[in-house]
Structure 1
Amino acid sequence: MYIPKYFKVTNIDEIKEFVQMNSFGTIVTTKQGKPIATHLPLELHKNGDDYYITGHMAYGNPQWRTLDTNEDVLVMYQGPHAYISSSWYTHENVPTWNYQAVHIYGKASVLNEEELKEDLASLLHKYEKHRKDPVLWEKLSPQLINQELKGIVGFKIKVKEIQAAYKLSQNRNEEDYLNIVDQLSVEENLTSQQMAEVMKKRVENHQ
């Protein structure tokens, strides 16, 4: 991923937080030179000094058969994004687009059944624990679990390289930056409003 110096993010804790909040990602592999991709919840974990991404896909999805044969797989995460009009600047310029994205490269392998069960239990806990009547792993019947396990393939990716870009108008002066935030806040589409909140938070964290 091409990342100009203004927008490069290297703080691993910041990247981990971003992935946790935007964990519905895209996994990309190749088959006979052709890229193939699947959109999935892909969780980032730390085990000792190493980082891993885990996920699962349908058994009927042929992409899982490429996991062991690809030297590297690519996982992409994206946050809010928004069109930035150059009419919001105090000087003449061209429009652009703000966004947040993380690309992670690594070596993939298929999970065994016990590893898959542990990963599914963790996934349910993350997304169900705060609900009034959570659907947790231990509440599911063995019959349902065994039936569902036959239809999916779990995998893990040992992280080799992380690339992160937050293009949030960091290269603009303060007046332009704050005006961009104000303009995004009143845009009708939700992603523009979300981008405004991200940019506000960035200012607050640097004060």
Structure 2
Amino acid sequence: MYTPSHYKNENLDEVRDFLKQNSFGILVNQTDGRPWATHIPLELDRDDKGMDILVGHIAKANPQWKSFVENEEVLAIFNGPHSYVSSSWYKQEEVPTWNYIAVHVYGKIQILNEGAVLDSLHKLVDKYEKESTNPVSIHNLSHKTMRQIKGIVGFQINISDIQATYKLSQTRPEDHPKIMGELLKTKNPGSHGIAIRIKQKK
């Protein structure tokens, strides 16, 4: 991913936290000679050696997984808040722009056995059910329901590189108060998210 130096975020702890909070990503690889992308939860975890990995699953009917063995190099894309930024908010004349947060994770993918898939499903469901009024647990689902695990393919991505772009008007610190104020006037949640991020970076 092309990222100008002033927009690179090399704070790995901050990027890890972003991945945990924005775990619905896009898995990209080559399938049948063409780029292929699937939108799925991709959870950041650690393997038994303490190395960062991503864990996820796709439907067995999705042909993407059939390319995992021969094309093990994959890309996972994660998006955060984004917003249009009007140059009318600047003290000096300039073109408008777009602020955003995006993280690209590169690595090698491997298919998991059924036991490891089940473990990953427990973690996934427990993570998102904890805020529910009546949380669901995989432990309480019937054998009939759990037979659906036969219809998915679980995998982990052994991470080789993480690239993070945080474009937050870093080159215009004198305009930050006006930019944040205008972003917060909108009804766009993405604009509000960018305003909060700009404030956090100050």
What's the TM-score bracket when you normalise by the shorter of the two chains?
A: over 0.9
Aligned-residue sequence identity (percent) comes to 46
| 1:78 alignment partner AA | N
Match of 1:183 in 2: 182
Unaligned runs of 5+ in 1: none
Is contact 1:85–1:95 with CA below 8 Å preserved after alignment? yes
How far is the alpha carbon of 1:33 from its aligned partner? 3.4
1:37-91 deviation per Cα after TM superposition (whole angstroms, max 9, x unaligned)? 0000000112334111110111111111112221410000000000011110000
1:21 and 2:21 are equivalent in the alignment:
yes
RMSD between aligned residues: 1.2
Structure 2 CA distance for aligned equivalents of residues 10 and 138 of structure 1: 39
Amino acid at match of 2:180: V
TM-score, with structure 2 as normaliser: 0.95
In structure 1, the residue corresponding to 2:40 is in which secondary structure?
strand
Unmatched segments (≥5 aa) in structure 2:
none
Q: 5 Å matches for 1:21-170?
A: 21-47=21-47, 48-146=49-147, 148-170=148-170
Determine helix, strand or coil for the equivalent of 2:157.
strand
Which amino acid is the alignment partner of residue 141 of structure 1? S
Structure 1 residue 167: Cα displacement: 0.3
Q: How many residues are matched?
A: 201
Q: What displacement does 1:173 show?
A: 2.3
Take 2:72 and 2:63, find their aligned partners in 1: how far apart are those partners? 17
Displacement of 1:188 after TM fit? 2.5
Alignment deviations for residues 137-176 of structure 1 (CA, whole Å, 9 cap, x no partner): 2121122112x112111111100111011000111123x0
Conserved 8 A contact 1:129-1:136 = no
2:26 is paired with a residue whose SS is strand
